[in-house]
Each structure stands twice: as C-alpha cells, then as structure tokens.
Structure 1
Amino acid sequence: MEPAADASFRLKFTYGVNAWRHWVVAKNAQIEDSKTSNSFRVRTFPTDILKCTTDELNYSLIFFIKEVRKPNGEEYSPDSIYYLCLGIQQYLYENGRIDSIFTDSYFDKFADNLHEILKNLQPKVNAQGQMLCRIEEEHLWESKQLGAHSPFVLLNTLIYFHTKHFILKTAQEHMSLSFAQILKHWKKGVPMKGQANSSKNISLRFYCLANGKKEGLAARKNREGVPVYEITENFENPLRCPVKLYEFFLSKCPESIKNRNDIFYPVPERSCVPDSPVWYSTQSIGHHTMDKMLTRVLLVREIQESHLHAQPIYL
C-alpha cells in the first residue's frame, strides 16, 4: 500500500480533500435531480478542486462549510470544519495553487461565512484539565498561515504570537497596540541554546499595569513590580523565531507609522511583491478583519493552553 500523501504532515490534508470530494458528488447529484423538475439551468461544481477557478472556489467553499457532513451524516464541529479548510488550503499549496483562501480579498465572502461558524465556539477542557481542540499550531505552520509567506500571513503571525505570549484576548486589545509598547530586551551573560559562544539573548517585552491594562515601557520602565509578558527567540528554527519575524515585519513597514500610537497592524499594499522594500500602507486593518483573524487564532490548542496557564514575570 502506498503511503498517504500527507503521511509526513501533522495536518492530514487528505481529510479535507476527501470531505470536499464527497460533498461535491452529493451536491452535483442534488443539482442534477433539480434540473429534471426546473426549466432553469443550475451549474454543477467542478469535482477536481485544483481545476476550480478562483470564483468557483470561493463560491463552492461557502456551500461546503455549511453543508459538509461526516460519512455517517452527523454535523462536523466548527473547529473540525476549520481543520478541513486548512487541509484544503495546504492541498492547494502542495499542488502549485497560490490561492490563500483565508486572506485573499477574492475569498472575503468565504472568510465571512467561516467566521460566522467559528465565532461562538467555546474552549473545552476534559476531566484531566487538557484542552480539547482539533487545531494545533503546527497545522498553521504547515498550511502557511504562519510565517512570512505574504504580508497578510506575516500579520496573522504577529497576531498569533501576541495572543499566545502577551495574552491579548480581544480584537480591541490588539487594535489598541502601538509600536511603542513592544520593545526589545537584551539579556547579558545568558548563553543561548545552540550558540554557546554568544552572551546575548534577545526577547520582546510587553509591559502591563497591575489591573490588567497594557501600557508601553516608556511610561513604566522606572517602576518596580510591573507585570511583563515576554517572547523569547527561537534558535532551533529561525524561520519560526518570533523575534526575527517581528524584526522582518518592522523592516517592511513605512517609517512614518513606527512613531504613531494609533496603529500596529497596517493594511498590506496591494501592489507589493516579495522583494518590495515596503509591504504595508499607513492605514490600520479594520476591526472586522482583526476579529476574523483573531477568532481563528483563538481556536488553536496552544493558544488556549497558554491563556489557561499564563503567568507574567515581574521586574
């Protein structure tokens, strides 16, 4: 027996592709049946997802997430529907399609409909205190929803890291961020894993007030007992290092927004390409866009576990 195409991945994308195929076959049969009793022509869906045009993919995904069922006819849970969609996204990438179904503007209607399905899902914990969630962080890396693959994916990565490490739980908390609130910190005399000869370790620090409100270092740096959330470097995998990705993000932002206190997540420039010196505009993404991105992030098991056990450090 040949190994499955997704055998080396944590995200088993064949689940999403097979669910899609079963749904398309049933949907097309339903459409064909309706043609016999109606005079108007109803278009069927392409059975090969790789042959769908962008419009066809957006249109059919909307129906798919609303109508897909398990083989036994039961409904999928919202996080399982998201898992199937992540699998479809990875399958598209693995086969040379560059469509980003979660971020491209062509798929806004699909993303809006997915958001309606996901937004009311609440975290579940079993009797042993373990989080019950279908989505894992590795799934996002494998499906290229985290990293620096595009301006929007890079924004999503920052939202992910800030949600996980700074315990930002709402769209409003994220929208209130500014560049002045996240600053580098160098630890001297601390050997870095994988770099025995180095004596500096860089982290990103986020300073908070005791009542839970967030504030930048400039206003709090001289006071003791300030709770601080911290992101440290990832030396084992630089491509997933939050510090390096943050530095790369800064390098792609226009200088004019780095001193403002009313923006942190700028809108990607439509005309930019990977080699463009600037990826972002001077305008902030909208609250609805943030809400959609954050809703998907909050479904990840590692995010939920981080929020359950988070403890700030105190200076």
Structure 2
Amino acid sequence: MSDQKEDLNSDQDDDFQPQTKMRRIGSKKVTTSTSQLDSRFAEKTSTDKVQEYSKGTVCKNTTACNSWAMQTFEAWRSNRNKDAPQEEQVPTDILSTKDSQLLQEWLICFLLEARKTNGDKYPPKTLVQLVCGLQRVLRAQHRSDSFNFFDKADHRFEGLRNALDKVCRELRQEGLGTIRKGSSVFTAKEEDSLWKKGVIALDTPVKLLRAVFFYNGINFALRGGAEHRSLKWSRVTRCSQTTDGLSKVCYIYVEHGSKNHSGGLRDLRHSNKKVTRYANEEAGDSCHVKILDLYLSKLPAGFSREAFY
C-alpha cells in the first residue's frame, strides 16, 4: 500500500503543473497561471524612486527660476542688512515666518528696491517672475499655511498685489517692458539666401544635416533645441496618401510632447500635434520630403529609431 502511495506521489511530481485560476471575460472562461500573473508586474519600487516620483515633474527652467529668485532675494537682504540697525534688518528667517503681515511688508520693500547687477530696474514681467519664484519656494517647504500671493480671495497679501500693480504701472510709464521679444519670421528671401551661400545643400553630409535641421524646425513646428534633441524616427512615418485626387509620398510627424504640452494629467484630453508634409517636385532641392529621403538613405543600416540626428 505504501509502495502505491509513493508511486502516486512520484507520478504527481512528474505531471505537476503550476496552479491555475479561472476568470471570466464576457461569456468565456480564461485559464491563467499564477506565474503569468506575477510576470506582468514590474520589479519592486524602491523608496527613493517613490520619493522622486512624488515630487512630480518640474521643468528645469522653473527650477532655475526658483534658484535665481532666492539668490536675488538673499543678495538684496544681505546688502540691506550691511549697515542697518538691528531693528531695521531683514530677518534671516523671513521666508519661514508665519506672520503674513511681516512677510508682506518685506516683500514690498524687495519689489521697490530690487535691481539688476548693473543697477538698472527690473521690467514688470521680471518682478512678477521673482515673486512667483519665491512663492514656489514657500510651497516647496510643505507649509500648512501655504501662501498664494496672487489669489484675490487671500486678503493677507492684498497689499503685495496692490504694490506689484503700482510698480508695474510706473515701470511701463518709464518705458520698461513695453517691447516684447518674439521670434522673427524666417522669410522666403532669407531661406533662398541660405541655399545660394551654400549654408544648406544636398552635396555634403554637413550641409545636408543643416537642411534637415532647418526644414524640420520650420515644417514640423519644433520649438527650440530641446524638441530637436527629443525628435525620433519612431515619431516620423513615411507613407503615401491621396490628396487632391493624386497619390503623393509624405512624411507624417506626431508630437509626443512639447514645451507647453508635456503629457501630464492636464494634457490627457489634449490631442498631439500631427503634421503631414507632402512631396513637392516644384520646390526642387528644398522639398522637405526629398531632403528626408536623401538623409534616410545615408543613415547606416540598423540605425536606432530612438534618435533622429
């Protein structure tokens, strides 16, 4: 009898299968092994990674702006306290105080006295950026009495908002901040000049790369170097489409993220930018499709689609 049990146990070991579970999908039953259930999850997340992700995504420019605002404020505080009596000095812990009235008074002094390193006044927009940077620093301290300097419902800082408004109006009257900087339009004449001077062309690798960079920026509406660096071949598709009753070769670019739409929670309902560029024989060498075709043909076999340049 014991021999029979041993034989049964040995047979069971040989034919042993991982434990399975039944789950219903619609009207069908699906059998899934526990090993498959385990393998679909990622590895355990470390505590450091949890803390990193809990901070969210902060733009590098925002971090730099916060640091610049703090450095400017501390430089002003240090300079103001040099020869001032004790009772007139800015407290070293002023940004940590819970006295909103005291904080408001010193921030107004900062607005009125802050200057560039050359002694010139800051334009209105820069003063607003300074206040915004200081506010973000306060919020990063996870204070229970978080301040919002620009909330009209927060009457604690009504005086700060009034002071900022008055200073900005006076600076405007002085002509500061009246001219807004913006990107100038690249004209067809300037584009033609690049070809004539040989800055961009199709006969050398360097000039071809310049042409690709130039027309990608214009036709794919790429903003700045960051979007060029993040450009990938996996986002660009070459195909044929019918337009105006004719089948034309084209490149379709689908944006995965940009300066204003990084793909966070607020962008879930946002449609990604999609640009289609069709072949244009009349454009000659400046045809974007022709330039990309030539560039693509020169890339080494098995090149990575995770990089464009």
Q: In which range does the TM-score fall when normalised by the shorter chain?
A: 0.3 to 0.5
The structure with the larger Rg is 2
TM-score by length of 2: 0.36
TM-score by length of 1: 0.35
